[in-house]
Structure 1
Amino acid sequence: MSKEYKSATFAAGCFWGVEARFRDQGGVVDAEVGYTGGHKLDPTYREVCTDTTGHAEAVHLTYDPTRVSFEDLLELFFELHDPTTLNRQGPDVGSQYRSAIYYHDDSQQQAAETMIENLNAAHRFADPVVTEVAPAGTFYRAEEYHQRYFDKTGRRGSCYFR
Structure 2
Amino acid sequence: MLKKTFAAALALGIATTALPATASAEVFDAPVPARQASESGLQTAIFAGGCFWGVEAVFSHTRGVTSAVSGYHGGTSANATYDRVSGGFTRHAEAVRVTYDPSVVRYDELLQILFSVVADPTLVNRQGPDRGAHYRAAIIPLTTEQRAVARSYINQMGRSGVWDDPIAVRVEDHQRFYEAEAYHQDFAHRNPNHGYIRRWDAPKIRALRANFPQLYRSRFRTG
| Unaligned residue ranges in structure 2 (runs of 5+) | 1-39, 205-223
Distance across 2 between alignment mates of 1:147 and 1:40: 18
Q: How many residues align?
A: 160
The runs of at least 4 consecutive aligned structure 1 residues that moved more than 3 Å come to 39-42, 158-162
Contact 1:34–1:57 (CA<8 Å) still a contact in 2? yes
| Unaligned residue ranges in structure 1 (runs of 5+) | none
Shift of 1:24: 0.6
Report the CA distance shift for 1:102/1:137 in structure 2 as closer, same or farther (over 3 A). Answer: same
**TM-score, normalised via structure 1 length:** 0.93
Distance across 2 between alignment mates of 1:120 and 1:31: 28
One-letter identity of the residue aligned with 2:146: Q
Q: Give the percent of matched residue pairs that are identical in Structure 1 and Structure 2.
A: 39
The partner residue of 1:112 within 145, 150, 174 is: 150
- SS for the counterpart of 2:145 is helix
More helix by share: 2
- SS for the counterpart of 1:25 is coil
- 2:219 alignment partner in structure 1: none
Shift of 1:158: 5.4
Q: Deviations over 1:39-85 (max 9, x none)?
A: 45351100000111100000000001111100000101111111101
Alpha-carbon RMSD? 1.6
2:198 maps to 1:157: yes
Distance across 2 between alignment mates of 1:85 and 1:40: 27
More strand by share: 1
Written as runs of structure 1 = structure 2, the 5 A alignment for 1:29-44 is 29-41=66-78, 43-44=80-81
Written as runs of structure 1 = structure 2, the 5 A alignment for 1:14-33 is 14-33=51-70
Distance across 1 between alignment mates of 2:126 and 2:198: 17
Distance across 2 between alignment mates of 1:92 and 1:134: 21
